[in-house]
Structure 1
């Protein structure tokens, strides 16, 4: 059991160049011995940023899309992240990261990076900022969800959350990795997966609906500090769901996030069925 002793200010501590150990603050909402995916998603982005920073030709590229596939259970244990350049380029580049826990691949992520240019003269898109977080009261999200990650958050609803619909601001006082700075993008992305827990359609005590992926598209690089989530959740009739979010920072919309869900009653089949082969790895209870 991982305890927060000595690591109260972060979600992870670094072990070596590629390995990190989660603190209790990374604890998941579906199970006490699992990681919440949200800080792990930020950690992957942090590793990608460091991969770029180590290359002299990495400057001038910005992340425009990142997609995560969650391959299996995210144990609250040391994780190894390896990043490689799949498609190099001066104006367009594709990175891939693999997260391994206990020797098993549990997350694969791909990020498209695009060259930064001055397009302020033609910039435009959806208008409207959310009510600033400093004007809003806090929501004790820990009353709905357990786990160290949810307990670490400052959550401020723009209006009272409804089944399948919520708009909230999320922030955290904790560092992503103890003793080292993370960029604004990684810090922002570390909070995005919270979206599937803010607008629940059914009580999580009665239904399981973990996401098996997360895809984020950005038309503007977000400012760190607060992650705004304008979220809608839909459940289909055959066990699938979709969490769709318009992403904001304090300056306005920055992009969109999508999460596909596997929906089942808690009394139904387990979320991680026995594998049918050595490579099979189903989704876990321990995420949202």
Structure 2
């Protein structure tokens, strides 16, 4: 992790039950005056988990899919996270969260919770575990991207990053919300959106390829402080792209993430 981000730092500070103040560590990569989505995604999961923990009727379910739609500019201003149950149930539940900045919705997320039971006798499939991060060297991602968020990361690629293809571990010592212990899933998700920046097909100084969404499917709940990203980036011929990632923890694969990209030249490069 970059030495400028002390271990006691956090991405957000709580104002009240629903409102949070972002810190300098959320600074974006495309625009350092805006929030990088990755920490905000983790904050949304944290808010959803708090909401369900405070609901007396909530069933013991696990988050198995969450989709985020980014609706507008993520200003580094106070944000409000509102959560509601869309489809209650004892074995299947759908929860929605909306993030507002200056009273305007900027992110909408929907999370499916499914029943947890023992299916170990039929479990199987998926990728093999990745080489553990302790055996790998760090990569300074600030050589490609600016921003407060990128500066907090400890990146451990399995091989030198290639255009459109990279497998790496990522972690951070920066906490999600000051004075609060985030759950393993929220801390894990807070790093997943990094995937779109680890395997750039074209220099971001010449081309823009921000994602407008992030969808995560999980077949197992992640554990530990490392998020493994086995990522492939494809650019199409008409301005769209896809970042596809197999997600890992130290034990092995946990699921998949997809991001749709809007691909266009930087001003002055068209």
TM over 0.5: yes
- Aligned match of 2:19: 19
Q: Deviations over 1:190-223 (max 9, x none)?
A: 0000000000000000111000000000000000
- Aligned match of 2:144: 144
Q: Distance in 1 between matches of 2:268 and 2:222?
A: 40
Compute the displacement of 1:224 (Å): 2.8
Superposed CA RMSD in Å reads 1.8
The alignment partner of 2:256 has SS state of strand
Contiguous gaps of at least 5 residues in structure 1: 271-288
- Aligned match of 2:202: 202
The alignment partner of 2:45 has SS state of helix
Q: Distance in 2 between matches of 1:33 and 1:146?
A: 11
Q: In the TM superposition, what are the counterparts of 1:14-163 in structure 2 within 5 Å? A: 14-163=14-163
Compute the displacement of 1:103 (Å): 1.1
- Aligned match of 2:178: 178
The alignment partner of 1:128 has SS state of coil
Q: Deviations over 1:208-253 (max 9, x none)?
A: 1000000000000000310000000000011000000000000000
The alignment partner of 2:238 has SS state of coil
Q: Alpha carbons of 1:5 and 1:149: their partners in 2 closer, same or farther (altered >3 Å)? A: closer
Q: Distance in 2 between matches of 1:145 and 1:174?
A: 18
Contact kept in structure 2, 1:187 and 1:224, CA below 8 Å? no
The alignment partner of 2:196 has SS state of helix
Q: Distance in 1 between matches of 2:162 and 2:5?
A: 37
The alignment partner of 2:121 has SS state of helix
The alignment partner of 1:28 has SS state of coil
Q: Give the length in aligned residue pairs.
A: 267
- Aligned match of 2:238: 238
Contact kept in structure 2, 1:71 and 1:108, CA below 8 Å? yes
Contact kept in structure 1, 2:6 and 2:173, CA below 8 Å? no
Runs of 4+ in 1 over 3 A off after TM superposition: 4-8
Q: Distance in 2 between matches of 1:92 and 1:77?
A: 35
Q: TM-score, normalised by structure 1?
A: 0.90
- Aligned match of 2:191: 191
Q: Alpha carbons of 1:269 and 1:213: their partners in 2 closer, same or farther (altered >3 Å)? A: farther
Contiguous gaps of at least 5 residues in structure 2: none
The alignment partner of 1:65 has SS state of strand
- Aligned match of 2:166: 166
Q: Distance in 2 between matches of 1:242 and 1:32?
A: 23
The alignment partner of 1:245 has SS state of strand
The alignment partner of 1:121 has SS state of coil
Moved more, 120-129 or 106-115: 120-129
Q: Deviations over 1:73-122 (max 9, x none)?
A: 00011100000000000000000000000111000000000011111111
- Aligned match of 1:263: 263
Contact kept in structure 1, 2:5 and 2:151, CA below 8 Å? no
